[in-house]
Amino acid sequence: MQRKAVLSSKKEKMKRRDFLEKTAVSTAVLGLGVSLSSFVSLNVKKITILHTNDVHSHIDPFPADDPRNPNMGGVARRAALIQKIRKEDENVLLLDAGDIFQGTPYFNYYGGELEFKLMSMMEYDASTIGNHDFDNGVAGLYAQIPHAKFEFLSANYDFKNTELDGLIKPYKIFNKNGIKVGVFGIGIELDGLVDKKMYQETVYNNPVETAQEMARILKEELKCDLIICLSHLGYNYKNEPTKICDLQLAALTKDIDLIIGGHTHTFLDKPTVTKNSIGNEVLVNQVGCYGINLGRIDFYFDSNKRKASEGKSILV
């Protein structure tokens, strides 16, 4: 009996080791303070977050003779990549951090209809709103929303005196394999970036205060296991240290696990790991622009809902 117990224990250890090797997770898993190798249970749940930002109406790949991004990007390739990942991993969320509009003749001609239809075909789950998404005004965005089969999230834009009232939610909760994921949106100040007549009576509220309140609600009241902020604030402003950015947002708040950013077109090979207001780790990521890259972050949860993660940027 004792020999059988030892053999069983060895088999469990081998299973656990094989699991870690197959998921490419080592003792140096990125971020959130816990490595999977320290988990004592095989009952590990995996959630995959895929994300884009600042695609700017780039439907086609760049031409082969483009001097900066030859033969890169394109919706068809992104869709194929997303489909491949979904076949390999069951629990996937696909998110966008804004500036879907403006940048190619597709937007000038279709006004955003094509972008939203294609995102819907790729089964995006949610997006926040970037400043360029107001380029045809509130009315232009309102006219295209029926083509989107995904949620638009913005917690710090108050649309109550506009046509968008009731169409934009502050947050949404997704349940994936018993893991409760709370996602909310935060937008950049529009004054100075967007003509007033384009955003009309949209009210901009403090992003730090709003983000902290959203995180509190999602964590304490709604008991989310993973909290994600879709931000269009920008990654960092070295020459404008007082301007709020994703790194500052992470440092000044708590309970946010991941900030997916946009606006500054910052190309990161993997998420930045930084500390929040109480010293816990936060991941901040952004994958450049124009659909050239797809961000991927895998979160792993043990039976006690402790989490670890690894992330990378995938060239499309």
In a domain, 297, yes or no: yes
Give the DSSP letter string of 153-194.
B-SSEE-TTSTTTTTSBSEEEEEETTEEEEEEEE----BTTB
In a domain, 37, yes or no: no
In a domain, 106, yes or no: yes
Give the up-direction half-sphere exposure of residue 256: CA atoms within 13 A in the CB hemisphere. Answer: 37
In a domain, 16, yes or no: no
In a domain, 1, yes or no: no
One-letter amino acid for residue 148 of the chain: A
Contacts of 196 (CB under 8 A, 6+ apart): none
In a domain, 27, yes or no: no
In a domain, 56, yes or no: yes
Q: Single out the residue of 160, 174, 165, 175 nearest to residue 145, CA to CA.
A: 165
* pLDDT one digit per residue (tens) for the chain, 316 residues: 444 443 444 444 444 444 443 443 433 345 555 555 555 456 889 999 999 999 999 999 999 999 999 999 999 999 999 999 999 999 999 999 999 999 999 999 999 999 999 999 999 999 999 999 999 999 999 999 999 999 999 999 999 999 999 999 999 999 999 999 999 999 999 999 999 999 999 999 999 999 999 999 999 999 999 999 999 999 999 988 889 999 999 999 999 999 999 999 999 999 999 999 999 999 999 999 999 999 999 999 988 888 999 999 999 9
For residue 179, give the CATH number of its domain: 3.60.21.10
Burial of 19 (0-12, 13-18, 19+ CB in 10 A): middle
Please state the domain count of the chain: 1
In a domain, 6, yes or no: no
Of the chain, the end-to-end C-alpha distance in Å amounts to 54
Residues 309, 168, 249, 214: is their CA dihedral positive or negative?
A: negative
Domain that holds residue 119: 46-315
